[in-house]
């Protein structure tokens, strides 16, 4: 039989002396006192979570007594039984500045710590910022079980009153995720956000300005070729319709992501809205543009660096500002418009809808499936991207437009 550990006593803790090596005095349930060579007495809890052994700091003796250390151990044991990592809760408590474990803010920060690694960095930053600005000041200190639908609606109404209706809807969605996480971990019984269906006015759908008439597209492409601004901006504008990625993904393109030999641009997961690696097959025309700009920016990190400093990418507004300087109004064309342009025409001309959606990197509802299917439909996507580039080149060159037919 395994040797039973005798529980610690106050006298044992008080009279333990430092030695040349750290000493551990176990109390049971994973709790132990670590006595350092310098004389420090530190309470630690050893536990396993997700198959990994971890340590939790529970305080310093004598500020934290043996009784208090045992209470903290028991609290951690309850969290573990609910499938919650005590270290996540401790970090959330520290961020919230409280010792409570079941307030809305504690559980929200705990949820965020667990799931934010699966989000794009910019999206994660937006979520926590919205919670800190719009929710925590009013509901953060409340026990999550005590929050009603009317309490949450009051918070949402404040956001709506600022003219940020879409943000109010987004905050409602995030709060719903927090409540459902609390239910799953045994710290709430229901999700009050579910009772607010229809409580907020619907948001109006915003359509990004784009062009889908081949004559208009041809004029836009010729204007881009004749752009008299910087070479970096011109090349970015020329590449945009060929790859139809989001403006932020384009401006942050790095040479380390581009393989000119295999004709692929691999955008890392942290840059993508869906948080999954994205592959962009590069057409011959796209390769020509990259090879043209490589002597100018290839020695640095970014394909399209800022003119002020090569250590940063070009600004958020560089593409949009260039379109305006060329005379395209905000209701005619936008930076996102290249995506809508490609999506509309590729669907109209019969390409596989799933291949189009995958190339547009639209979020996959099943995050696990998305993580393994970033290369899905790749042969067809390569064929589609080259055919699309050939079509754009041909309508630009001709005075009269031609119909675009999907190969195969």
Q: Which of 270-279, 333-342, 386-395 has the lowest mean pLDDT?
A: 270-279
Encode 198-240 in three state secondary structure: CCCCCCCCCCCCCCCCHHHHHHHHHHHHCCCCCHHHHHHHHHH
Mean pLDDT, residues 36-40: 87
Q: What is the pLDDT of residue 204?
A: 63
Residues 6+ apart with CB under 8 A from 108: 92, 131, 135, 136, 140, 178
From 246, 358, 381, 396, the catalytic residue: 246
pLDDT more than 90, % of the chain: 47
Q: Give catalytic status of residue 336 as yes or no.
A: yes
In angstroms, the CA 187 to CA 191 distance is: 11
The single residue listed with the structure tokens 């754009």 is 392
> Does 339 participate in catalysis according to the annotation?
yes
Is 372 an active-site residue? yes
CA-to-CA distance for 106 and 185, rounded, in angstroms? 13
d(CA 23, CA 324): 69
C-alpha span between 198 and 356 (Å, rounded) = 33
Distance (Å, whole) CA 70 – CA 398: 80
The catalytically annotated residue of 46, 273, 294, 383 is 273
The residue-averaged pLDDT of 384-406 equals: 77
Q: Please state which of the four CATH numbers 3.30.160.390, 3.40.309.10, 3.40.50.1980, 3.20.20.140 is assigned to the domain occupying 17-81.
A: 3.30.160.390
Q: Which residue has the higher pLDDT, 264 or 90?
A: 264
Helix (H) or strand (E) holding 249: helix 247-251
Instruction: With beta carbons less than 8 A apart as the criterion, state whether 307 and 230 touch.
Output: yes
The active-site residue out of 12, 190, 362, 383 is 362
Q: How far apart are CA 65 and CA 317, in angstroms?
A: 58
Active-site position among 82, 325, 372, 398? 372
- 21 and 37 in contact (C-beta within 8 Å)? yes
Domain limits, the chain: 17-81, 84-204, 214-397
Q: Answer whether residue 259 shows pLDDT above 90.
A: yes
Concerning whether 82 is annotated as a catalytic residue, the answer is no
Omega before residue 269 within 30° of 0, cis: no
C-beta neighbour count of 300 within 10 angstroms: 13
Task: Say yes or no to pLDDT of 179 above 70.
Answer: yes
Peptide bond into 175 cis (omega under 30): no
d(CA 286, CA 386): 9
Strands (E), 129-201: none
From 70, 72, 172, 339, active-site residue: 339
Average pLDDT, the chain: 86
Question: Of 336, 358, 382, 396, which is the active-site residue?
Answer: 336
- pTM exceeds 0.85 for this model: no
Query: What confidence tens digit (pLDDT) does each residue in 341-375 have?
Result: 999 999 887 889 889 999 998 755 444 444 456 67
Fold of the 84-204 domain: DNA polymerase; domain 1 (1.10.150)
Question: Are 16 and 8 a contacting pair, CB within 8 Å?
Answer: no
Q: Thinking of the domain 214-397, which architecture would CATH place it in?
A: Orthogonal Bundle (1.10)
**CA distance linking residue 136 with residue 103, whole number of Å:** 10
């Amino acid at each position: 039989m395994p040797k039973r550990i005798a529980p610690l006593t106050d006298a044992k803790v008080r009279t333990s002396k430092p030695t040349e090596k750290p000493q551990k005095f176990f109390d049971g349930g994973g709790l132990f006192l670590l006595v350092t060579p310098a004389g420090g007495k530190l309470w630690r809890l050893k536990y396993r979570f997700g198959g990994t052994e971890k340590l939790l700091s529970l305080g310093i003796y004598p500020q934290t007594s043996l009784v208090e250390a045992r209470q903290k151990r028991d609290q951690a044991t309850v969290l573990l039984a609910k499938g919650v990592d005590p270290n996540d809760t401790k970090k959330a408590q520290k961020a919230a500045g409280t010792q409570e474990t079941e307030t809305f803010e504690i559980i929200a920060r705990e949820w965020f710590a667990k799931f934010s690694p699966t989000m794009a960095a910019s999206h994660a930053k937006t979520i926590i910022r919205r919670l800190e600005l719009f929710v925590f000041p009013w509901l953060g200190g409340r026990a999550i079980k005590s929050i009603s639908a009317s309490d949450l609606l009051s918070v949402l109404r404040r956001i709506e009153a600022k003219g940020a209706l879409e943000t109010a809807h987004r905050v409602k969605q995030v709060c719903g995720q927090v409540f459902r996480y609390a239910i799953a971990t045994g710290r709430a019984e229901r999700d009050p956000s579910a009772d607010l269906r229809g409580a907020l006015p619907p948001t109006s759908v915003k359509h990004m300005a784009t062009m889908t008439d081949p004559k208009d597209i041809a004029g836009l492409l010729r204007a881009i070729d004749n752009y008299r601004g910087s070479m970096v901006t011109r090349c970015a504008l020329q590449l945009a319709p060929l790859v139809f990625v989001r403006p932020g993904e384009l401006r942050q393109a790095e040479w380390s992501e581009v393989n000119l030999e295999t004709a692929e641009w691999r955008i890392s997961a942290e840059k993508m809205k869906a948080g999954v690696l994205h592959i962009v097959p590069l057409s011959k025309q796209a390769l020509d543009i990259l090879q043209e700009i490589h002597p100018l920016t290839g020695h640095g990190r970014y394909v399209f660096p800022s003119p002020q400093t090569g250590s940063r990418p070009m600004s958020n507004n560089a593409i949009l500002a260039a379109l305006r300087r060329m005379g395209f109004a905000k209701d005619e064309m936008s930076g996102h418009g290249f995506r809508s342009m490609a999506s509309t025409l590729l669907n109209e001309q019969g390409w596989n809808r799933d291949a189009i959606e995958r190339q547009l990197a639209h979020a996959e509802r099943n995050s696990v499936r998305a993580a393994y299917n970033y290369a899905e439909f790749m042969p067809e996507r390569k064929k589609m991207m080259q055919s699309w580039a050939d079509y754009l080149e041909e309508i630009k060159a001709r005075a009269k437009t031609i119909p675009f037919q999907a190969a195969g």
